[in-house]
Structure 1
Amino acid sequence: MPEIKWQDWSKDAFEKAKLEQKPILLDIFGSWCHWCHVMDKTSYSDPAVADFVNKNFVAVRVDTDKRPDVNRRYNMGGWPSTVFLDSEGKVITGGTYIPPQQMREVLRSVTDLYQKSKGKIRSKLGPVNIPKPTKEELTERLIRDISTTMAVNFDIDYGGFGFEPKFLHTEALELALLRFHYNDEKEMMTVASRTLDKMGKGGVYDTVEGGFFRYSTTRDWSIPHFEKMAEDNAKLLAVYLHAYQLTSNPFYKEVAEGIIRYVDNVLTDRLKPGFYGSQDADEEYYKLDREARMKHAAPKIDQTIYTNFNALFISSYLLGGLVLKRPDLSKFAIQALDNLLEANLKGDGLLSHYNRGDAPTGLL
């Protein structure tokens, strides 16, 4: 059975595409992503798809966590992102999950279009528009505008923002807590507390092992999408700790301790202190009770030590050590920071995104 000959994101891949006059099939995936696994098992395992890709495309795979720069530039609105590029890195077309039969049709269409109209395609693509950071100061008016937008989109019945799917929006919750703390805006505390209550008591929180899933497919937080992300849990740990500081609500302390319990047991390297990247989605596993889970293989863990996710957890664990009076959390955080600097700090004073023995490559 033929397999797709995937290459890493590199200059060599683009030079190969240019030399052979082939378009590039870019697959942006997450190790934790359910639909990425489905596409691997269906579309990319389809013999006809694999054979056609190998003959007519240069196939490139990118892990979204390891190359967030590529993901920011080319993500098509979710994972997997299935993107077709020319040899200069410009987008021809793309989508997210594509089932096998449709994938065969899309591959043929892209190939025909690329071979027949290469000049026209390039002339229409234009330059890539990469947003530049704003120099605008963070004014009180801008913060009020953001707070107003949050209030307008707040779900008074179930907490959170909007309807479904419903994401965690940790930064918005932190802002709500800050507005209450510094400006005594009680409506912002309502936004935060209603959301934290509903999330912590909903299906998006794992009551067996602790920790939060990535998002809820339903408005009432009852049916989660089952991957667990370091970034989400690190940020939510800080949010629940801050909420506990402001309210002394024991439930927020309980949820924070549940996040810590999960992270300590699953997302940490205890021998060489550090924090892992994510745990895979496995719906069948997470529907089991504690006893049944003990007999079942746990979902796969991405054991990569990412600088940004570790920085978030180090900050949250230091906060936890202070708020919960747990010096063990502070000690582990400092050890993780020492290890992070030792592994990822380069000679120029900058930190690599993760340690793989060499400096990460940039965009073409």
Structure 2
Amino acid sequence: MDEFAAETKVEWREWGAAAFERAAGSGKPVLLSLTVAWSPECRAMDRGVFGEPRIAANINDGFVPVRVDADRNSRVRERYTMGGFPSTVFLTPEGEVITGATFLGPDGFRGILDSVRESWDAKGAAAGSIPRQLRDEAPPAGELRPRIEEHMIEQLLGAFDEEYGGWGTDVKFPLPRTVEFALVRARDQATRTLEAVRTHLLDTYDGGFFRYGTGRDWSNPRREKLTDENAALVRAFAHGYRYTGTDAYRDAARRTVEYLTTDLWSGEAFAASQAGDDDYYQLGASEREAREVPHVDETVFADRNGLAIDGLLWFHAYTDDERAERYARRARDHVCDALVEGGEVAHYAGDDSDAGLLSDQAQLLQGLTTSWQVLGEGGPAEAVADWTIENRQQGTGAFRDGPDTGAGLCGRSLHPLDATVELADALVDLAALTGEDRYREVATEAVESFAGAAERMGVEVAGYAGVAARLLDPQRLVVGTEAGTDLHRAALRLADHETTVVPDPDGDGTARRYEGETVTAEASAPADLEAALTGD
């Protein structure tokens, strides 16, 4: 249970079978509160609703109240969130959803309590339903084909905001993976979006990026700072710098690296998040010095650290930034020592932590394959990949988000697209790094398991089209030296970011680019490699 639960007056129970057994035995519905440490709305609801004595007494008498930290319990979050935090969800004793909402004030909350009681008294357990995403056994499969990439390019062109940058005409999210896809297919869109993100979402005083702009013009940002989102933006800005040489992109990434390695450094790895506080973040630098900084969740999550390792090492690859390399190594070593056992990755260090979640397996694997490309050190990458394939892949090729066990609807599988994309992308790299084609075959099966829905995908999942393109046109740049040589460093900076760079300490000192199995360029010196790859 989260650290803020004690500040309320509700008699919360932990998520688990005991709470649902209590609900069944007492004939009461479950009230599930999904909360996160970084949301000011969660704290406001704790004070104004769950801290109000009469409302709390009403909850304690008529419901079985359960409190869940959504960041620590991602399987519960993915099955029950109402689209934001806090999420208050009313469940039957079988875990089916009666109704739910995000933030509610006292009056709204009293209204939904009355509505749930009426529905429960009239229908009982029949008032619940299973969310649509949990009804299907597997996503719609299809064939891996060039049309997937073509469709996504069409989506980029159709959804781009020519006036303000970014995609869409409402709330503006940074979409770093979409930026990366656009860098090699619609570069003007990518650079204009990076410029908008840098201008409107970068905290120029404390560093780090805010989450998104609530206005089409990127105005009124949500000021929470999450490690995974900041790490992904470090990588996107680093790739932007690699393609354009724009110093502002390098500087934005460096400033964010500084933020991650100070404010969000736990002492051993990267902490989870820093809360949003509009009053604090609208102050000037000197005024902030006199104020308490917003709350930092010190929890070290495997998935978020995997993305941080990935982002920092690409920034190091393009800039030789020693700070980024040093902290990426420290985080990698800590997470591998503390959270990985036999290839299975724990979400965080704790007896109540889930293990083997697809997001943790995939995103840590991404960090490890990048470590292999940049530093020549893959750690337990193969063990993590092998465990994931053996334990999370179904016969259809699709991957499940976790085990088919748990209270409520956690016994039902989800097939998350985002985590599947991260996993497939890492497996493409691992196939090139190890020479094991089986990893590419699994990646192909995973991508094909969603291909039947490709024509319905929007720009938010452009990474899917990116990994599909990598599978159809595999490219690797094999450097016949150990990592860290001038030739290897040049290869990292010259290769397309969708090309896997493979350091080979047993090689002959020559770098060779392969398209499939065909050598299309080779050189033994950095200048010659640049000429061979660019045609100059």
Flag whether TM exceeds 0.5 (same fold).
yes
- Give yes or no for contact 2:23–2:29 (8 Å, CA) kept in 1: yes
1:350 aligned onto 2:348: no
* Equivalent-residue separation in structure 2 for 1:125 and 1:236 (angstroms): 35
Which stretch shifts more, 281-290 or 320-329?
320-329
* Equivalent-residue separation in structure 2 for 1:13 and 1:125 (angstroms): 19
- What per-residue deviation string (whole Å, max 9, x for no partner) do you get for residues 217-243 of structure 1? 111223211111111100000000000
Match of 2:74 in 1: 68
- What per-residue deviation string (whole Å, max 9, x for no partner) do you get for residues 288-342 of structure 1? 1111111110000011000000000011111122111123322221221111011
The 3 A distance-change label for structure 1 pair 2 and 82 is: closer
* Equivalent-residue separation in structure 2 for 1:210 and 1:261 (angstroms): 7
- Give yes or no for contact 1:285–1:293 (8 Å, CA) kept in 2: yes
Q: Which runs of 5 or more residues in structure 1 are unaligned?
A: none
- Give yes or no for contact 2:72–2:353 (8 Å, CA) kept in 1: no
The 3 A distance-change label for structure 1 pair 119 and 328 is: closer
Letter in 1 for 2:117: T
1:331 aligned onto 2:337: no
* Equivalent-residue separation in structure 2 for 1:276 and 1:131 (angstroms): 35
Specify the SS of the correspondent of 2:345.
coil
Specify the SS of the correspondent of 1:28.
strand
The 3 A distance-change label for structure 1 pair 195 and 20 is: same
Match of 1:313 in 2: 308
Give the one of 71, 79, 84 matched to 2:85.
Answer: 79
* Equivalent-residue separation in structure 2 for 1:97 and 1:304 (angstroms): 24
The 3 A distance-change label for structure 1 pair 304 and 120 is: closer
Shift of 1:38: 1.5
- What per-residue deviation string (whole Å, max 9, x for no partner) do you get for residues 96-125 of structure 1? 111101211211221232133215425x66
Match of 2:446 in 1: none
* Equivalent-residue separation in structure 2 for 1:329 and 1:70 (angstroms): 33
The 3 A distance-change label for structure 1 pair 111 and 157 is: same
Give the one of 282, 294, 299 matched to 2:294.
Answer: 299
**Structure ID, larger Rg:** 2
1:92 aligned onto 2:87: no
Letter in 2 for 1:98: L
TM-score between both structures, scaled by the size of structure 2:
0.63
Give the one of 261, 269, 272 matched to 1:264.
Answer: 261
Which stretch shifts more, 29-38 or 350-359?
350-359
- Give yes or no for contact 2:8–2:50 (8 Å, CA) kept in 1: no
Match of 2:406 in 1: 363
- Give yes or no for contact 1:69–1:363 (8 Å, CA) kept in 2: no
* Equivalent-residue separation in structure 1 for 2:176 and 2:215 (angstroms): 18
Specify the SS of the correspondent of 2:328.
helix
Match of 2:438 in 1: none
How do residues 83-162 of structure 1 correspond to structure 2 at under 5 angstroms? Answer: 83-118=89-124, 120-121=126-127, 128-129=134-135, 132-133=138-139, 135-162=141-168
Q: CA RMSD in A?
A: 2.0
How do residues 48-67 of structure 1 correspond to structure 2 at under 5 angstroms? Answer: 48-67=54-73
Specify the SS of the correspondent of 1:266.
coil
Match of 2:244 in 1: 247
Q: Which runs of 4+ in 1 moved over 4 A?
A: 124-128
Which stretch shifts more, 258-267 or 2-11?
2-11
- Give yes or no for contact 1:48–1:104 (8 Å, CA) kept in 2: no
The 3 A distance-change label for structure 1 pair 125 and 140 is: closer
Shift of 1:359: 4.3
Shift of 1:42: 1.0
* Equivalent-residue separation in structure 2 for 1:238 and 1:296 (angstroms): 31
Q: Which runs of 5 or more residues in structure 2 are unaligned?
A: 1-6, 356-404, 408-536
Shift of 1:175: 1.0
Specify the SS of the correspondent of 2:193.
helix
Letter in 2 for 1:36: C
The 3 A distance-change label for structure 1 pair 137 and 254 is: farther
* Equivalent-residue separation in structure 2 for 1:147 and 1:256 (angstroms): 26
Shift of 1:32: 0.6
Which stretch shifts more, 29-38 or 301-310?
29-38
Letter in 2 for 1:228: K
* Equivalent-residue separation in structure 2 for 1:297 and 1:80 (angstroms): 24
* Equivalent-residue separation in structure 1 for 2:245 and 2:336 (angstroms): 35
Letter in 2 for 1:96: T
Specify the SS of the correspondent of 1:291.
helix
Shift of 1:357: 3.2
* Equivalent-residue separation in structure 1 for 2:231 and 2:82 (angstroms): 26
Letter in 2 for 1:74: Y
Shift of 1:138: 4.4
Which stretch shifts more, 234-243 or 353-362?
353-362
Give the one of 215, 219, 222 matched to 1:218.
Answer: 215
Specify the SS of the correspondent of 2:259.
helix
The 3 A distance-change label for structure 1 pair 94 and 140 is: same
* Equivalent pairs, count: 351
- Give yes or no for contact 1:209–1:261 (8 Å, CA) kept in 2: no
